[in-house]
Amino acid sequence: ILGNQPFKKFQNPIDSITSNIIKRMIEHPQKDRINQLEIESKALELLSIHFGRVLLNDCDANKRSQLSKKDLNKIKQAEEILLQRMESPPSLLELAKIVELNDYKLKIGFKELFGMSTFAYLREKRMEHAIDLLRSGNSNVTETAFAVGYNNVSHFSELFRKKYGMNPSKFLRIY
């Protein structure tokens, strides 16, 4: 097919981000236009993550951070703590202390491993959990905001609108 043109074969293990995205795509089949848009955005997110990794792998190895296996495990432990304590997460310094890494290494390593800062990642996961809660029909907007760690419902609504293109109350009515 490609003739004599070079091609690159790559294989990445499925990490927790990829696994969560795929799980959300499977659990929420296309029932309506909103779900279809969310599925499409998740597919694009998967492509973005994996193409980013391909490009990162092509970069000069000297320019990349060389995290030890021990540090990688500590960063993954930090991720789990953030997800478990989503409604009341520790500060970056507290998190670093819990996983026994300095805060600089945690920040740099987290960004390298997950492609975003610790709290950008937390924000993303909060919004994913919020949409799941709203979809379930068991929570109103205020309860959802508090459940995912936002004490200010207006701030939660603003972030939700930026992420999903509509207010959570409108999403709740539509869904």
Residue 102 maps to a domain: yes
Return averaged pLDDT per consecutive 10 residues of the chain, 175 residues in all.
54 69 70 72 79 61 66 94 94 96 93 90 93 91 95 95 91 84
With CA atoms as reference, report the closest residue to 112 among 71, 80, 163, 77: 71
Distance CA 161, CA 5 (A): 45
Residue 146 maps to a domain: yes
Residue 4 maps to a domain: no
Give yes or no: residues 139 and 166 share one domain.
Answer: yes
Residue 125 maps to a domain: yes
Count of structural domains within the chain: 3
pTM of the complete model:
0.64
The pLDDT assigned to 91 comes to 96
The pLDDT assigned to 95 comes to 97
The pLDDT assigned to 1 comes to 47
The pLDDT assigned to 172 comes to 87
The pLDDT assigned to 22 comes to 77
The pLDDT assigned to 30 comes to 59
Residue 111 maps to a domain: yes
DSSP 8-60: --------HHHHHHHHHHHHS---SHHHHHHHHHHHHHHHHHHHHHHHHHHS-
Q: Are 54 and 161 in contact (CB under 8 A)?
A: no
Distance CA 109, CA 14 (A): 18
CATH of the domain at 121: 1.10.10.60
Give yes or no: residues 54 and 69 share one domain.
Answer: no
Instruction: List the domain range (segments joined by +) for residue 32.
Output: 15-62
